[in-house]
Amino acid sequence: MRLSGKTALVTGASRGIGRAIALRFAAEGAFVVVNYAGNEAAAGETLAAIASSGGNAVLSRFDVGDAAQVDEAVKAIVAQRSRIDILVNNAGITRDNLLMRLTEDDFDAVVRTNLKGTFLVTKVVSRQMIRQRCGRIVNMSSVVGEMGNAGQSVYAATKAGILGFTKAMARELASRAITVNAIAPGFISTDMTQSLPEATRKEFAERIPLGRFGAPEEVAELAVFLASDAAAYVTGQVVGINGGMYM
């Protein structure tokens, strides 16, 4: 029970990596606020899975890119729980295309959710963490933010942006005992990578030294460590979990 008594907000926790983190956090004793954008059924499944294994969680629907919704949702969490110990900025989207075909709308949508969303939620939650004089923030970047990938220019730009944001926040918040770290996963089996053609997935797997995609649960294990008391002296770091794809 490494997160016993903690309240955690996990954005984009209805599916994929966020769901695995929510489940693992709850299993480690945290009260989990499961955020999602619109997929009510998937969010309900996350909540039911936590409840059936004896964990505690609530749903919180808000768009991370909408400042008013973020404000209102975080206020409601603080009103209910009095504190937020852990924030995982995990919500993210892709609109993959080669630059020549990438539209301004695609660019804006990806920046809005991935980068602006991370900024908006961190701004409001860190205000509460500063009052508490403790907290853990974990931002979901990507190996693509470190090494680039053809067809993912805007996605890679947001994930690289998250690394800069993480390091700046780590410096700003360190004096209040708030740590800020980034996880940079490689290819993980979720809806996001499921949408890639089978041939592309096979080709990617061949480029990974460990020869396979990762599981969301493997990323969740790392998130537990960074969110736990054991990681009190770890801040401003980018932790890769990519099967050796990028070293």
> Sign of the C-alpha dihedral, residues 99, 138, 59, 127?
negative
Residue whose CB is less far from ligand NAP, 63 or 106? 63
State the minimum distance, in angstroms, from the CB of residue 60 to ligand NAP.
Answer: 10
In angstroms, the CA 124 to CA 120 distance is 7
Contact residue for ligand NAP among 31, 119, 165, 187 (CB under 6 A): 187
Task: For residue 79, give both structure tokens.
Answer: 């009103």
* Catalytically active residues, by annotation: 155
State the minimum distance, in angstroms, from the CB of residue 133 to ligand NAP.
Answer: 28
- Site residues for ligand NAP, window 11-70 (CB under 6 A)? 11-18, 35-39, 42, 63-65
**Does residue 192 touch ligand NAP according to CB under 6 A?**
yes
> If you ran DSSP here, which 8-state letter would residue 93 be given?
-
Contact residue for ligand NAP among 7, 122, 142, 166 (CB under 6 A): 142
Q: Report which of 5, 22, 3 is spatially closest to residue 13, judged by C-alpha positions.
A: 22
State the minimum distance, in angstroms, from the CB of residue 242 to ligand NAP.
Answer: 8
In 68-169 the beta strands, taken as DSSP E runs, fall at: 86-89, 135-140
Number of residues that bind ligand NAP (CB under 6 A): 32
State the minimum distance, in angstroms, from the CB of residue 173 to ligand NAP.
Answer: 21
In angstroms, the CA 226 to CA 166 distance is 13
**Does residue 190 touch ligand NAP according to CB under 6 A?**
yes
CB 134 within 8 A of CB 178: yes
Helical (H) or strand (E) element with 131: helix 117-132
Contact residue for ligand NAP among 3, 32, 88, 140 (CB under 6 A): 140
Reduced to 3 states (helix: H, G, I; strand: E, B; else coil), residue 6 is: coil
Chain residues binding ligand NAP by CB under 6 A are 11-18, 35-39, 42, 63-65, 90-93, 113, 117, 140, 142, 185, 187-188, 190-193
